[in-house]
Amino acid sequence: MRAAVVTEFGGPEAVRIVDAPVPEPAARQVRIKVEAATLNPVDAGVRSGGFGGAGTQLGLGWDVAGTVDAVGVASAWQPGERVVALQYGVAKALGTHAEYVVVDTDAVAKVPASVDVVHAATLPLNALTAAQALDLLDLRPGQSLLVTGAAGAVGGFAVQLAAHAGVEVTGLAREDDEELVRSLGASAFVTDGTEGGFDAVLDAAVLGERALARARDGGAYAGVIPQAEPPSVRGVRVAAVEVAADGARLAELARLVDDGVLTLRVAETVPLEDAQKAHARLAEGGVRGRVVLVP
C-alpha cells in the first residue's frame, strides 16, 4: 500500500510516499480501508522534527474515515461498516495518511450519517481535543468562556460545544472571521484579547500567558499542547489537554454532527500522492477548514 511518511525532517518537501505492507489487525483491533484522512498541524510538527524521532520512519496522520475491512479477535466491529477513528501517536511508523490503517477497536465510531466521508474525516482529532479540553475547564451553564483561535478547527468545535452546553462564549479571532465565529455560536467576538474576567479560557491559538491573563482570578485555563501550558497566576487553574482516542465520546460527537450542533469544514481535498502539496498549503496559513487527503 501507499503511505505518507518522513524519514528526514524538513518542510513540505520532506514528505515521501512509500510502499508499505498492509497492516494486520491484532486482538481488539480493526483495519480500516482509508477513504479520507485529515491533515492537521500536528502532522507538520512531526514532519519538521518538533516531536523527535530522528533516524526513524514516522508515519503521518491521526484522523481517518473509511470502511472496516478486517478485524482481530474480540473486535466490536464488522467488515463493511463505515467508521471514523483517531489513531493517536507522534512516533508511529505508519499513520492514517495511507491506504489502510489499523486502530484499536475502542477508538472507532460510526461515520455521521448526515455528511460525506471527506467531511467525516475532519471530526476525530479536533472535536475530541475540543471536548476533552472543555472537560478540563468543567464549566457550568451561564459561565463565561474565551476561546482563542475560535475560527480554527479546534476553536470552532469548542465554540459550538460550549455554546450548546449553555456557556456564554466569546470568540477571539481575526476581524474578518467575526461572521463565521458568531455563526458557530459565540455571543461575543474580540480581535485583540484585551478583555478579561472570563471564568475560563480555552487557548486553541496557543497564546499562552496572553490568554491566561484574560481569565479571572481563580478561573481556569486549558491549553491544547501537552506540557506547554503557562504557569498559574492569580489562582487560575491551569491544564493542557492530551487528546485521547475514545470511540464512545467520538460517537457522541458524531451524533452532534447529525443533530446540526457541530459543523464539519473542509478547505480542500488533495490526492494522497500529492501530500507535499497539502503540507505546503497548510504552511501558507489562513486555512479555514481542513485539508483532507484522499488515497
Task: Give the contacts of 286 (CB within 8 A, at least 6 positions apart).
Answer: none
Measured CA to CA, the distance from residue 141 to residue 10 in angstroms comes to: 45
More confident residue, 90 or 254: 254
User: Rounded to two decimals, what is the model's pTM?
Assistant: 0.97
- Give yes or no for residue 80 having a pLDDT over 80: yes
DSSP 3-state of 45:
helix
pLDDT tens-digit series, residues 20-38: 999 999 999 999 999 999 9
Q: Which fold has domain 2-123+264-294?
A: Quinone Oxidoreductase; Chain A, domain 1 (3.90.180)
User: What is the pLDDT averaged over residues 177-198?
Assistant: 93
Instruction: Tell me whether the CATH fold assigned to 2-123+264-294 matches the one assigned to 126-240.
Output: no
Evaluated on CA atoms 187, 215, 172, 280, the torsion sign reads: negative
Q: How remote is the C-alpha of 180 from its chain's centroid?
A: 19
Q: How far apart are CA 179 and CA 165, in angstroms?
A: 21
Interatomic CA distance for residues 68 and 281, integer angstroms: 30
Query: Would you report the helix, strand and coil content of the chain in percent, each value rounded to 5?
Result: 30, 30, 40
Domain borders along the chain are: 2-123+264-294, 126-240
Superfamily classification of domain 126-240 = NAD(P)-binding Rossmann-like Domain (3.40.50.720)
State residue 77 phi and psi, 5-degree precision: -115, 160
Query: What does the pLDDT read at residue 288?
Result: 87
φ/ψ of residue 196, rounded to 5: -130, -170
